[in-house]
Structure 1
Amino acid sequence: MNFPIWELHWAGGGLLIALIAVFHVYIAHFAVGGGLFLVLTEHLGYRRQSPAILDYTKRHTKFFLLVTMVLGGITGVGIWFIISLVAPAATSQLIHTFVFAWAIEWVFFLCEIVSLFIYFYTFGKMGRRNHLTMGWLYFFFGWMSLFMINGIIGFMLTPGDWLETKDFWDGLFNPSFWPALAFRTFIALILAGLYGFVTATWEKDPKTRETLVRYCATWLLAPFAFLLLSGWWYVHVLPEGPQAMVLGANPEIAPYLQGFLWISVVLFAGGLIMAVRMPAAIKRPMALVLLVIGLLYMGCFETMREAGRRPYLIHGYMYSNAILVGTEDAIAAEGFLQTSGWNQNQEITPENAMAAGREIFRGQCAACHSIGGPLHNIKRLSAQFGTVGLEAQIAGMGKIYSYMPRFAGTAQERKALAAYIVHDLVEAPVTEQHARPRPEVELEVPAFNADEAEYVLLSWCTLGEKCLSDSDSRFSILPPGSTLMAQLIRRGPLPELVTEDVEITYTAPAGFENPANHVEFWKYAPSLVGKELPQNVSAKGLGMSGVMKLGEQGTNFVADGIPVLPYMDDGTINPYPVFTIEAKDTASGEILATTKVLAPVSTEIGCKNCHGGTWRHEGTMGISVTTASDVLARHDRRHKTRLLPEAEAGKPVLCQSCHPDPLLKATGNPELLNLPAAIHGFHANYLSGQPAAEPCHSCHPTGPDSYTYCARGAHASKGLTCVNCHGTLEDHSLSLLRGEKEAGKPKADLLMRHIKPRLVGSVEEIEPRAPWNDQPDCLNCHVDFERPQDAEPSAFNQWVRGPEGLYRMRTDDAGLMCESCHGSTHAEYPATNAFHPDLDAIQPLQYQGHPGPIGSKGNCAVCHTEDMYDEFHHPNILGAL
């Protein structure tokens, strides 16, 4: 941060360093192995008394001198030039730490030059013993040069005790020094054979040519076992983080690891083939091909080694963007622009936001990312993001996946950076939010004659909003299947619940009868739920109309699994279909009571905010194929699965087939995190730090700009949000993850590592819970059924251990369920619906003429045919009413 940065744009992201360095290292290793090749080949010529071999050695020495001294020297200088411009802070640190080591290495390099020139120009002119001695001296100086540089390069990957001591010797003889030296020595010997093929295949005498080619093949083949053993040693001395990176924890590195392994096989096979007698016209091009393959081999190795350092330039000390480890929080508090002296903009205003974003990109991103170039092209990597999604991506860097450093800056700077990338680099237009028109809903409230009616029929949806994923060709996270409950009450001085000799039916509203026409769930049902399903019938066997069954409590009727969708046959999108519920006498068929109830259902799940694509239906809701494919591609990339190719082959999966989930009673793979913990825990790392319920609005249809606007109840009307009951996303996630941690799942720790609670002082204070079953208790706020005393009540961290005790399952002493009188979760009476103000108040309006809870405002007569003076259903019921 204390140096200006050379803006390379297209060639940024370390491309020039990679190109120059790989080429130089390929030559430098040849300079070491080739030195030994020269002196041993000369020995061979003397031992066999072969002038032809000695002549070849002299010619190869000229080739060797030109390649190593000219190309090697130029690229060596090129490395110093490019790293000093692209990574000046790390270069400065290496110079200051190892100035003595560099000086020694330069002495060895000078000795290399002198000894090689003497060896070449005195070939055949100097006595055999002295000339061979000069060859051995060249090899010694070359290997010692490798010895010194290996320590410095290894230091960047494994600084070891130097991080604490800052001692020169701790840095030079770092943990990977000896295995890396062995590995590089053996690869240098292999490269000597590869380069030897190039000159040996041009030998004119066929017999000599075959002898030399087989000799070179020995150099290629013999060290391979030692190379692999030293490679194994090298990898196993690496700390856990670098080791994981090298072995492919970074998905971008996996191809290079595979390439290294496959090229090992190719080179070994190539060496065997070259040893077979063939015409020179075949062997010459083959030698050149093997030489190019060797360059790719070295490129794979160096790429993996560099990747092992990520997100650092010097592991554990300096990040790839030159920010020192341990300074991130201070920079985040003060601001990146304020703490770096090379920025024109110190503060962000609406006028300079783009310019400030560019400076932040230059300081924190340009070291690794090019702009339109071939290496980590930021335009390609950010193409699917809007500003909201990219801001979340930036916020989550370096938390779960550690191959990128954490963003060091304020929330305002993060926003400016995201806007610069999305609107300036990717050139995505700025879009304005427009209110989406909702269909006009006609509502007919059933009649009720309080003087004559013998029955009251109450019905409700157990969830305030059933969310569905309609991305069935790719995956299903929430398949169709809403639940309606009902209770039939015989009115009287002592009302009673009726459960015998009656039949309760539900009937879908007109236009909603054919959900299979609008989604592909039924097409892919065999893959998603393991069986063929009749059209418009759910996995639980229910259709859009049918008969309710007596519930497990024995006091209510249930239709669990109605496959209702928010899509109508005429193309209208309506998340609030109104079902008709009827109670009939089973003996006579007489209709005893009729009511209507919402079955709220929405596919407005905001995956597109971060995964690209658009809404699937009419710019309103639904997960598009583009969005769903990106979700799977990222899952495959991170977790080594093959969900996307399997889905493209017609075999999408239900997420709960792997991840346990109490909602669907899915056991999945017990070793994996349950689905809510995995989803919320992962995304909390990217969406944390935002105001209150903003992260909730990013994914759920709860925000002020939502089309569905599912938070419709009395709580929402008083300004309460998700946070008041469930906590912020951070708190909510930690409660789920702590439950999984107590269940012995180590992945919970990984997701929890960077999540900080906001409603309590520490993670240890958060009560663990199971999703869906352990929920906030109404009585946390409504103590003794009174109104909350706090202006900002909070039910977080005090869980009802369910499912029996949950609001949606709880009953009073008479068996009357809470939701029958108070309405569904998130739609508690009085509720206000954006599609029609009375949609959620049908039964209160039907039975008592106002939208409050059933029986409120003194309306006990809804069920009781005589005045009530004693509290029965719950304490304070008369006072509250």
Structure 2
Amino acid sequence: MNYPVWELFAAGGGLPIALMAIVHVFVAHFAVGGGLFLVLTERKAYRENSKSILEYTRKHAKFFLLLTMVFGGLTGVGIWFTISVLSPGATSVLIHNFLYGWATEWVFFVVEIVALFVYFYTFGKMDQQRHLTVGWIYFGAAWASLFLINGIIAFMLTPGEWLQTGNFWHGFFNPTFWSSLVFRTFMAIVLAGVFGFVTATFMKDQQARAQLIRYNARWLLVPMVFLVASGWWYLQSVPEPARELILDRSPELVPYFKAFLWLSGAVFLGGLLLTARGGRRWQRPLAFVLMALALGYMGSFEYIREAGRHPYLIYDYMYSNGILTSQEERINAQGFLASAKWTSFDTVTPDNRQAAGREIFRLQCMNCHSVDGPQNDILPLTAKYDLFAMDAQLDGLGKLNDYMPRFMGTRQERKALAAYIVSDLHGKKPAEPHEAGAIAQRQHAVPPFDPDSDDYVLLAWNNLGMHCISDSSDWWVLLPPANDLFAQLIRRGPIPEVVTKGVEIEYAVEEGFENPAGKVPFWDNVEALFGTELEDNVGLSGNGMRGKMHLSKELSAFEASLVPVVPYPEEGGYMPYPLFHVTAKDAQSGEVLARTSMVAPTSTEMGCKNCHGGSWRVDGKAGFTDATSMDILATHDKNNRTDLLAAARNGEPKLCQSCHPDPVLGTEENPDYPNIMNFPAAIHGWHANYLTDRGAEVCSSCHPSSAAGPTGCLRGVHAGVGLDCTSCHGSLEDHALSLLKKELRAGKKGAARMMTHLEPNTVDKVQHIRPRTPWINEPDCLNCHVDYGKPESKDVSGFNKWTSGADELFRLRHEETGTIMCEACHGSTHANYPATNMYGKNRDNIQPQQYQGNSLPISSNKNCAVCHTMDMGFDMHHPNIYRDFRNTQLLEDGDGS
């Protein structure tokens, strides 16, 4: 941020540093181990009086000189050049903090150069003992260089107490100094054996070649045992966050860690194979293959070590984009452009948004990402995102997957960067907003009711107000087709009676919705998902699209659970509000006692595609395409090291709640996965980190709650008076934190990780949020409607005051006499009377229209005569019931009459 940037769009992403560094480090370790190899091999020649071994040592020394001094020296200079122009901030820190360390290392390097030249050019010309002494001097200087450079390199991963003291020695003798030094020393010795194989295969004397190959094998195989042991010590000395990143959390590191383990065995096996009897014809190629494997082994280790300190260049001190951790808070407050020195803009304006976004990309992203290049190419990583999704991805950077730094700057700067990536790099136009478009009104009949002659009132409802389903069953299921229908039959009279005996209540879906199996693949996969077989159009509880309701004695209501209705009519298109016709009959005679109709809301307008790519499956309005479904599984696999996508492709899709417990489906904790959070906590906790500070509009990015969308599930009286999702549930952060706190108390370690970067909006501190169980502890109606009264203002909040159990939930609650369910008279959750439905003016208000000729809650405006055949004149079912309806403006506006 404080230095100009060398723009290497295609060759960026740290590729020049990686290529130069891996090759140099490979040769540099050989320069250490090879020095010891030369001295001991020469001594072996003297001890055995072997001219062939001595000649081999002399030729190996020439190869060693050219490779380590010439090529190694050039790549060493190359490293300094590349890091100084690509990571100038980190280079400056290393120079200023370890100036005398570098100076000392350069002194030893000069000693190495002089000693090696003397060693080579006096070979066979100097006294044996003196010549060996020169060799020992070279090795001592080389190992001293390793000692010094190791301290500085290890410092970048584990600066230790230096972060507090700034002391040279604290930084040098850091927590991984000794383990890293031992590991690198044995690595150097192993590489000496690897390169020894290469030069040995060029010997013409077959007997000498075989002897030297066996000799070199000892240099590779014996130290390899100690190399593995010291590698384990090294890993254990790495701080726990970095170790978790390497071993568990970072999907980017998985292939490199696997490669490191496999190459360990491959190098060991290659050394064994070379000791087998054979000619140069196959030994020489195998020796070069072994050298390539060793290079890959070194490269994978160095990549893991480098990546293990992510998102930092210097752990806990400087981020990988060169920004100091101490600068982050100031940058977020003042703005990134205003804080950076080498930018053309100080702030984002409508005129410079794309150009400013490019500046931010250059300074915050190019250290790690290339553009259409071989290393960390930004284009495939962001190809699926539109502007909304790209902004969300930037919002979530570094929060859950802390492999990358968090975005730093203002929201406007974040959107500018998102716009640059989406519009400039990908050439995408802004996405059109998801809107309902022209909605065809669906006609419905209001069943007749004669208050003077009819003896019964039949009330029927869906308990949720909206049941979302995922029509992605070929890949996974979030919620299956499963609508719950309820009904209560009331015998009218001076003292009305809820009838539960001697009657049958039947239900049947309206014409055009009888064949959901022809519209969604649920029945093709139900056995794999739920371990059961079902006939087409029959739901998980055995109920089909028509049938009889069953009495729930606990609720004093009839119920048809898990009816598998879908929002796709036979004629095509999308219609999320199919009707069910409900009929009450005398159980003995079959006489029809009452009829009514009700909406069974069901929607597939879940916005997963907004971030996971793909498109809407049906009519451009709703449903999951394969592209969206597969990306969700691929993302889950990447972040959690699962193999769900491969299983689904193999015909084994998963129910999300088969691993994540969820009260709504009655799934318990899976004993195979005891630490997994419940599904609502996991999904809201994860996504809240990507969608912060957005208010109610963020709800409709996932749920079908937007009034402009093709579902508009929030359609009841609360929406009519201007309330939104956050009025009851709080912001997404609030909602997520309430769920995560309960999981944190249950010992689910993932909860703390998801909570780290979430700040509440409705209350002051996280500590003030009351933990809750999803679907059980929900906002209580009486939070706002104290004693069933009118809230003092619209600013009241239902958040953080939960129902204590399921019996207090609005969808399961009874009025105070304990006979009639609240939803029977008030309508479903999110669709309380009077409700506004875009598919038909009073499609949700059929029963109020049927029994009282308006769309108000049953018995509103002192209309007790719906059930009571005598004037009551007082509150009965709950306080404040015997009064006029408060929100009469809804009727005056034409929305509820």
Question: Which bin holds the TM-score, normalised by the shorter protein?
Answer: over 0.9
CA drift at 1:845: 0.7
Q: What is the alpha-carbon distance in structure 2 between the residues aligned to residue 814 and residue 53 of structure 1?
A: 100
Partner amino acid for 1:343? T
CA separation in 2, counterparts of 1:396 and 1:814?
47
Among 751, 754, 779, the residue aligned to 2:754: 751
What CA distance in whole angstroms lies between the structure 2 residues aligned with 1:127 and 1:825?
97
Which amino acid in 1 is paired with 2:459?
L
Q: Secondary structure at the match of 2:490?
A: strand
The 5 Å alignment of 1:55-204 reads 55-204=55-204
1:537 maps to 538
Q: Which residue of 1 aligns with 2:872?
A: 868
1:414 matches 2:408: no
Q: What is the DSSP-based 3-state SS (H/G/I as helix, E as strand, rest coil) of the residue aligned with 2:369?
A: coil
Instruction: Pick which of 204-213 and 17-26 moved more.
Output: 204-213
Instruction: Name the residue aligned to 1:556.
Output: 557
Query: Are positions 1:838 and 2:839 aligned together?
Result: no
Please state if 1:738 is matched with 2:741: yes
Q: Deviation at 1:880?
A: 4.4
Name the amino acid aligned to 1:449. D
- Tell me if 1:380 matches 2:384: no
Return the offset for 1:214: 1.3
Give 1:348's aligned residue: 348
Displacement, 1:687? Answer: 0.8
- Distance in 1 (CA, whole Å) between partners of 2:321 and 2:839 is 51
Looking at structure 2, the residues matched to 592 and 819 of structure 1 have their Cα atoms a distance apart, in angstroms, of: 21
For the Cα contact (< 8 Å) 1:656–1:668, is it kept in 2?
no
* d(CA) in 1 for partners of 2:622, 2:835: 23
> Which AA in structure 1 matches 2:542?
G
What letter matches 2:827 in structure 1?
Answer: G
What is residue 15 of structure 1 aligned with on the other side?
A: 15
Q: Is contact 1:473–1:650 with CA below 8 Å preserved after alignment?
A: yes
Instruction: Give the match for residue 801 of structure 2.
Output: 798
How far the C-alpha of 1:248 sits from its partner, in A, is: 4.4
Give 1:259's aligned residue: 259
Matched pairs, number:
880
Report SS of the residue matched to 1:138: helix
Distance 2:773 2:708 in 1: 30
**Cα contact 1:248–1:257 (8 A) shared by 2:** no
What secondary structure does 1:485 align onto?
A: strand
Question: Any idea what SS the aligned residue of 2:422 has?
Answer: helix
Aligned CA distance change for structure 1 residues 880 and 742 (closer, same or farther; 3 Å): farther
Partner of 2:894: none
Give deviations 1:286-315, integer Å, cap 9, x for gaps.
111111111111100000000111000000
Report deviation, 1:59: 0.7
Correspondence for 1:847: 851
- Tell me how far apart the structure 1 counterparts of residues 96 and 557 of structure 2 sit (CA, whole Å): 78
Q: Give the distance between the partners of 2:554 and 2:187, measured in 1 at CA.
A: 73
**How much has 1:671 moved relative to structure 2?**
3.1
Cα separation, partners in 2 of 1:262 and 1:810, compared to 1, 3 Å: same
Code of the residue aligned with 2:495 in structure 1: it is L
Alignment-derived partner of residue 719 in structure 2: 716
Q: Distance in 1 between matches of 2:309 and 2:784?
A: 51
SS at match of 1:732: helix
Measure how far apart 1:435 and its partner are. 4.5
Using the alignment, how far apart are the partners of 2:838 and 2:70 within structure 1?
76
Letter paired with 2:863? N
Moved more, 823-832 or 619-628: 619-628
Letter in 2 for 1:600: P
Deviations 1:832-852 (A, max 9, x none): 011112111111111111111
Report the equivalent of 2:892. none
Alignment map for 1:205-284 (pairs within 5 Å) = 205-284=205-284
Q: 1:554 Cα deviation (Å)?
A: 4.9
Q: 1:428 offset after TM fit, Å?
A: 2.3
1:778 to 777, 781, 787: 781
State the SS of the aligned residue for 2:265: helix
Q: Does the alignment pair 1:639 with 2:659?
A: no
Aligned counterparts, 1:278-427, within 5 A = 278-427=278-427
Assess if the C-alpha contact under 8 Å between 1:466 and 1:602 holds in 2: yes
What is the one-letter code of the residue matched to 1:714? V
* 2:888 counterpart residue number: none
Identify unmatched segments of 5+ residues in structure 2.
Answer: 886-897
Following superposition of structure 1 onto structure 2, how do residues 394-473 of structure 1 map, counting pairs within 5 Å? 394-433=394-433, 435-473=436-474
Identity over the aligned pairs, expressed in percent? 55
- Taking the aligned partners of 2:449 and 2:880, their CA distance within structure 1 comes to 27
Deviation at 1:330, TM superposition (A): 1.8
**What is the correspondence of 1:448-597 to structure 2 with a 5 Å cutoff?**
448-597=449-598
Whether the 8 Å CA contact 1:455–1:593 is kept in 2: the answer is yes
Task: State the partner residue of 1:703.
Answer: 706
Contact between 2:716 and 2:833, CA under 8 Å: does it hold in 1?
A: yes
Q: Distance in 2 between matches of 1:45 and 1:727?
A: 81
Unaligned runs of 5+ in 1: none
CA distance in 2, matches of 1:489, 1:715: 27
SS in 1 for 2:561: strand
Partners of 1:716 and 1:268 in 2: how far apart? 69
Whichever residue aligns with residue 868 of structure 2, its letter is: H
Distance of 1:322 and 1:441 partners within structure 2: 60
CA-CA distance at 1:432 after TM superposition:
2.3
Local SS of the residue matching 1:779: helix
The 8 Å contact of residues 470 and 478 in structure 2, kept in 1 or not, is answered as yes
SS at match of 2:267: helix
Distance 1:767 1:839 in 2: 37
Q: Which residue of 2 aligns with 1:808?
A: 811
Alignment match, 1:677: 681
Structure 1 residue 801 displacement after superposition:
1.4
Question: Which amino acid counterpart does residue 703 of structure 2 have in structure 1?
Answer: H
Query: Quick check: 2:860–2:883 contact (8 Å CA) kept in 1?
Result: no
Residues of 2 paired with 1:766 and 1:246: CA distance? Answer: 34
CA deviation vs aligned residue, 1:718-754 (integer Å, no higher than 9, x gap): 1101100010011111111111122222221111111
- Which range is displaced more, 46-55 or 424-433? 424-433
CA distance in 2, matches of 1:202, 1:572: 75
- Equivalent AA in structure 1 for residue 37 of structure 2: F
Q: TM-score, normalised by structure 2?
A: 0.97
Which residue does the alignment assign to 1:604? Answer: 605
Amino acid at match of 2:809: L
Displacement of 1:694: 2.0
Aligned partner of 2:620 in structure 1 is 619
**Residues 439, 572 of structure 1: 8 Å contact kept:** no
Q: Is the 1:436–1:620 contact (alpha carbons within 8 Å) kept by the matching residues of 2?
A: no
Under a length normalisation based on structure 1, what TM-score does the superposition of the two structures give? 0.99
**SS in structure 2 of the partner of residue 144 of structure 1:** helix
Distance in 2, matches of 1:552 and 1:259, equals 62
Q: Is the CA contact (8 Å cut-off) linking 1:737 and 1:748 kept in structure 2? A: yes
Contact 2:387 2:430 in 1 (8 A): no
